[in-house]
Amino acid sequence: MSEQADLEERPRLRKSAQAFRTISEAAEQLNVPQHVLRFWETKFPQLKPLKRAGGRRYYRPEDLALLKRISDLLYTQGYTIKGVQRLLDDGAPELPLGEPAQEESALAEILAELDAIAVALRRL
């Protein structure tokens, strides 16, 4: 069997809910292109990912929560960018996005456990 086939069979490791995400991971999680995230950084000053040498972005869990909120307002609820800016500037009450984030965290932990069980079963 080739090395490529071995890599494809291995389950992908899941990061902790508290781990920082690269722009590609954040874009994949939100199902938006990377350039959209960069554009949102210019339009929403509340969004400030950690930047390392060379400009590499790392999104904290609170950045991801804000990105999810912005994405929901723009794509699901039909707000314009100006409308979302006003909501965020006015300190509008949080949308009920905090609860799904907790559910996602719990689901991520369960999936990690299931992956570990699958690996153990394959070794039998």
Q: pLDDT tens digits for 29-83?
A: 999 999 999 999 999 998 989 888 888 889 998 999 999 999 988 988 888 999 8
Separation of alpha carbons 6 and 22, rounded Å:
25
Give kind and range of the element (H or E) at residue 22. Answer: strand 21-22
Separation of alpha carbons 65 and 122, rounded Å:
36
Report helix, strand or coil for 91.
coil
Give kind and range of the element (H or E) at residue 53. Answer: none
- pTM, to two decimals: 0.62
Separation of alpha carbons 8 and 11, rounded Å:
8
Structural domains of the chain in order of their starting residue, each with its CATH number? 16-96 (1.10.1660.10)
Strands (E), 26-121: 50-51, 57-59
Q: pLDDT tens digits for 88-100?
A: 888 755 544 444 5
